[in-house]
Amino acid sequence: MRKILVTGGCGYIGSHTIVDLLEHGYEVISIDDNSRSSAFSVNGIEKITGKKVKNYKVDLKNFDETQAVFQENTDIAGVIHFAAYKAVGESVAAPLLYFENNLFSLINLLKCVEEFSIPHFVFSSSCTVYGNPDSIPVTEAFPIKKAESPYGATKQMGEEMLTDFTKNGACDAILLRYFNPVGAHPSAILGELPIGKPQNLVPAITQTAIGKLPKMKVFGNDYDTRDGSCIRDYIHVCDIAHAHTLAIQYLENTKNEGPCDIFNLGTGLGVTVLEAIQTFEEVSGVKLNYEIAPRRPGDVIAIYANNDKAVNKLGWQIKYGIKEMMKTAWDWELKLKAEADSVKNN
Ligand code: WQD
C-alpha cells in the first residue's frame, strides 16, 4: 500500500483529503503542529474510514523535526502539502508571519523531498494567484497578477519555487489552484473549524444562522454583476479532496505533461454572494439576518474557473452542487451546536 504524507492533515481540506486517500487504498501519515487545527480531526477521519492515521505534531519550520519524520518513514511515495496560514486579512496585518511560516515550511519540506528522493509532490495553491482577471472564466494559462495580499504572494512564490525545484528532476509536481472550498463531509463528522470570527462567506452564513453571530455583512451590492454582489466559484471540499487523490494517481501513472502541471479546481459556475445566501435560506429554512455593508478592500469582483483541464486530464467529476455545499455546511454547524449543548448540559 503506497504511503502518502499529508502536511496540514488536521486542517479543513487536509482532513477531507486524507479520508479520500484512505478510501482509495493509500496509507497516510500527517504532519500538523495543530497551531491552527484540532488534533481531534484524526478521530473524525478514523470514525469515517475505520482507519487510523498517525499525525506527527511537528512545526515544519523546524527542519530537524521535519527530517526525522522522513527518516522514520522511508516508504513515502508522495507528499501533499496543505500546511500554511491562509487568512488574507491577517496576512496584510502581519506579512512577515506569513512569509516566514508559509515559505520556510515549504523550503524545509522540499529539502526533505530532495534528501529522501520523494517522487511526487502536490501543492495547495489558490485562484488568488489570478488576482482580478481580465475576463472569466479563467484557465491555467491566464496571467498571474500581482498578489492582493501577502497570503496570495506566498502562494505565488510557492508555485515559482516548485516550478524551479522540479526543473532539476528532483521530483514531479502538481499545483492545484482551489477556487472557494466550502461545505463539509456528508457525515457531518468533519468540517471547517474557523478560528475566531469567520472571514469566509459560508462559515459566516452558518454561524449567523445558528446564532453564534448576531448578523452578517454583505460586503457590497454595487458591483457590476447581475445582482451587484461579488461572484465566486464555490467548490465542495469533498470534490477538492478527491482531486488530490486523482493528482497523485496522475503523477504515479506519469501522465503529467511536464515536471510541474497546474490545474484549476472549481465548478466552472459563478455564484453571487446574494445567490449563495438565498440558496442557504432555501436548503436550511432559516431566514438569514444580514445587512449590506461597504465593499471589502482587496475583493475580486468576479472570478470562476474553466476546469476543463482537471476534468479531461485528471478525470475529475464534480459531485456536489451549491445546494449540497450549503446543506452539508449547515448540517456541520448544527452538529457543532449539538455537541456544544451536550457539553454545556453535562
Ligand atoms: C467570498 C465573497 C466577500 C464574508 C479567500 C481567499 C482565497 C481562499 C478562500 C484560502 C466575497 C463576501 C465574505 C462575509 C461577505 N482562501 N463575504 N461577507 O475572499 O473569495 O477568497 O478565501 O484558500 O485564497 O482569497 O473568500 O469567502 O472571504 O469571500 O460578503 O462575511 O463573500 O466580500 O465577495 P474569498 P470569502
CA 315 to chain centroid, in Å, comes to: 20
Active site residue 12: no
Task: Say yes or no: 81 and 19 in one domain.
Answer: yes
Q: Average of pLDDT values for 278-306? A: 96
Mean pLDDT of 19-44: 97
The 8 Å CB, 24+ separation contacts for 90-96 are 90/151, 91/149, 91/150, 91/151, 91/152, 91/154, 92/149, 92/150, 92/298, 95/150
Question: Which residue of the set 12, 85, 151, 320 is catalytic?
Answer: 151
- Is 194 a member of any domain? no
The answer to whether residues 272 and 158 belong to one domain is no
Closest ligand 1 atom, residue 273 Cα: 32
Residues 169 and 243 placed together within one structural domain of the fold = yes
Residues 72 and 121 in one domain: yes
C-alpha span between 31 and 187 (Å, rounded): 24
- Does the structure show a pLDDT above 90 at 191? yes
* Mean pLDDT, range 54-74, rounded to an integer: 98
Buried b (16+ CB within 10 A) or exposed e, 40-61: ebbebbeebbeeebebbebbbb
CA-closest residue to ligand 1 atom 36: 200
C-alpha cell at 77: 511515495
Residues 117/43, Cβ–Cβ less than 8 Å: no
Residue 81, exposed/middle/buried by CB under 10 A (0-12, 13-18, 19+)?
A: buried
Instruction: Tell me what the mean pLDDT of segment 207-226 comes to.
Output: 97
Q: Whose CA is nearest to atom 34 of ligand 1?
A: 230
Mean pLDDT of 304-323: 98
- CA 258 to ligand 1 center in whole angstroms: 32
End position of a domain, from candidates 265, 280, 310: 265
Which of the four pLDDT bands, split at 50, 70 and 90, describes residue 346?
Answer: confident
Of 148 and 20, which is predicted with more confidence?
20
Q: Nearest C-alpha to atom 15 of ligand 1 is from which residue? A: 218
Q: At 253, which CATH number?
A: 3.40.50.720
Residue 9 lies in a domain: yes
Count of beta carbons in the 10 Å neighbourhood of residue 334: 15
Confidence of residue 163 (pLDDT cuts 50, 70, 90): very high
Instruction: Say which range, 23-27, 54-58, 130-134, 320-324, has the weakest mean pLDDT.
Output: 130-134
pLDDT at 255: 80
Pocket test for ligand 1, best of 154, 219, 275, 322 (most atoms within 8 A of CB): 219
Taking phi over 0 as left and psi of -120 to 50 as alpha, with beta for the rest, 305 belongs to beta
Instruction: Please give, one letter per residue, the 3-state secondary structure of 301-328.
Output: CECCECCHHHHHHHCCCCCCCHHHHHHH
Which strand (E) or helix (H) includes residue 21?
helix 12-23
Cell of 219: 460586503
Are residue 163 and residue 119 in the same domain, yes or no? Answer: yes
CA dist., res. 31 & res. 70, Å (int): 11
Angle CA 77–173–74, to nearest 5: 20
Domain-terminating residue out of 244, 265, 286: 265
Question: Residue 58 is which amino acid?
Answer: V
Q: Which pLDDT belongs to residue 89? A: 87
- The answer, yes or no, to whether residue 10 has pLDDT greater than 90, is yes
Residue 257 has pLDDT above 90, yes or no: no
CA of 296 to the centre of ligand 1 (A): 9
**pLDDT of 256 higher than 90:** no
pLDDT tops 90 at residue 273: yes
12 belongs to a structural domain: yes
Task: Give residue 270's pLDDT.
Answer: 98
**Nearest to residue 123, comparing CAs of 66, 165, 185?**
165
Q: Please indicate, yes or no, whether residues 138 and 278 belong to a single structural domain of this protein.
A: no
Ligand 1 centre to CA of 200 (Å) is: 5
Please indicate, yes or no, whether residues 131 and 41 belong to a single structural domain of this protein.
yes
The reply to whether 286 and 169 lie within a common domain is no
Number of H helices, E strands in the chain: 12, 13
Strands lying side by side in the sheet with 172-178: 54-56, 27-31, 3-7, 76-81, 120-126, 172-178, 260-265
Q: pLDDT at position 124, please?
A: 98
C-alpha radius of gyration, the chain, whole number: 19
The answer on 129 and 245 residing in a single domain is yes
Position 170 scores a pLDDT of 83
Ligand 1: residue whose CA is nearest its atom 33: 219
Q: pLDDT > 90: what percent of the chain?
A: 92
pLDDT digits (tens, 9 = 90+) for 80-103: 999 999 998 899 999 999 999 999
> Does ligand 1 have an atom closer than 6 angstroms to the CB of 217?
yes
Least confident among 104-118, 141-155, 273-287? 141-155
- In this structure, the answer to whether residues 60 and 144 fall within a common structural domain is yes
- Whether the ω angle into residue 137 lies within 30 degrees of 0, i.e. cis, is yes
Q: What is the mean pLDDT of residues 156-168?
A: 97
Ligand 1 near 201 CB (within 6 A): yes
CB of 218 shorter than 6 A to ligand 1: yes
Res 345 pLDDT > 90: no
90 falls within a domain? yes
Coil, helix or strand at residue 255: coil
Percent of the chain with pLDDT over 70: 100
Q: Which three cell numbers stand for residue 271?
A: 455564484
- The confidence score (pLDDT) of residue 168 equals 87
Predicted confidence at residue 246, as pLDDT, reads 98
Q: Are residues 285 and 295 in the same domain?
A: yes
Inter-residue contact 97 to 87 (CB < 8 Å)? no
Kindly report the CATH number assigned to the domain that includes residue 310.
3.90.25.10
C-beta separation of 276 from 202 below 8 A: yes
The average confidence (pLDDT) of the chain is 96
Query: Residue 9 sits in which domain range?
Result: 3-183+233-265
The pLDDT of 243-253, averaged and rounded, is 97
The number of distinct structural domains making up the chain is 2
